[in-house]
Amino acid sequence: MKSGLIKSSDDIKRIAEAGAVLRALFEVLYTLDFEGLSTWKVDSVVENFINSHGGRPSFLTLPGYRFASCISVNDEVVHGIPSKKKIIKSGDIVSIDAGVVKNGYFADACRTFTVGSVDEELHYLVEANRSALKKAVSVMEEGAPLNAIGNEISAFAIKSSLVILDSFTGHGVGYALHEEPVVFHGAGSFNDLKLRSGMVLAVEPVMAFKNCKYQKLDDGWTVKTADGSPTSQFEDTIAITENGPVVLT
């Protein structure tokens, strides 16, 4: 059985094949009019797309989870469970987190979508979150410390007058959906593990307007902010190579 942090070039190629399904999925979702759809319907679109493109939804490998994606709306921070009763409205922001396993290799990604007429502040939050992930990727060079990722994201959040909800972490990915190491998105994690060629990491910062408490709902999955504050999340699967970081999703 394969194990360890380091993937071969062939492994990375195969993880990229799973990532390509996710990239194509999100290209389709960006053309979708979410207004009036239930999150269950959107999840059905996700599942059908992945299955029809040679992959399997990797979230279905999680014990007790029955959906192809997590869909978190507005103040739902992470792990929103798709529901026929949850109807997406104009003005919402919707984070769709999905994973693909293809030929035994895993990739993971998330995007936050704006729906209809969205407040300017929410647009700012979403675009800043997108930029924070790009900033993180830019420092993921071979030899850099793992904590450079969180330091870069945190510095960008402060510059943008936003905050990172640093209780939510990234992870290794490739042979399984969740692997070591843990990737902290905030500053001061003190993890100086060096990034090495062959590492593949899922980086997935969650941003908000302010520090806020959150709570897990009775469904056992969905996490919401306690005061109703909206949040945004972006995630990519990134390979560390001798020639720099490569986004696989």
| Nearest to 116, CA basis, from 86, 92, 96 | 92
- Gap between the terminal Cα atoms of the chain: 25
**125, 209 contact by CB (below 8 A):** yes
Checking phi first, is residue 224 left (phi over 0); if not, alpha (psi -120 to 50) or beta? beta
pLDDT digits (tens, 9 = 90+) for 169-214: 999 999 999 999 999 999 876 667 999 999 999 999 999 999 989 9
Residue ranges of the chain whose pLDDT lies below 70:
1-4, 189-191
pLDDT at 1: 35
Burial status of residue 4 (CB atoms within 10 A of its CB: 0-12, 13-18, 19 or more)? exposed
Task: State residue 168's pLDDT score.
Answer: 96
Q: How far is it, in rounded angstroms, from Cα 34 to Cα 140?
A: 34
From CA 7, how far away is CA 5, in angstroms rounded?
Answer: 7
* Contact of 125 with 142, CB cutoff 8 Å: no
220-237 pLDDT, tens digit per residue, is 999 999 999 999 999 999
Q: Return the pLDDT at 4.
A: 61
pLDDT at residue 2, as a whole number: 52
**Was domain 9-247 assigned CATH 3.90.230.10?**
yes
Query: pLDDT value at position 188?
Result: 77
Handedness of CA 131, 157, 79, 245 (dihedral sign): positive
Predicted structure pTM score: 0.95
Domain boundaries, the chain: 9-247
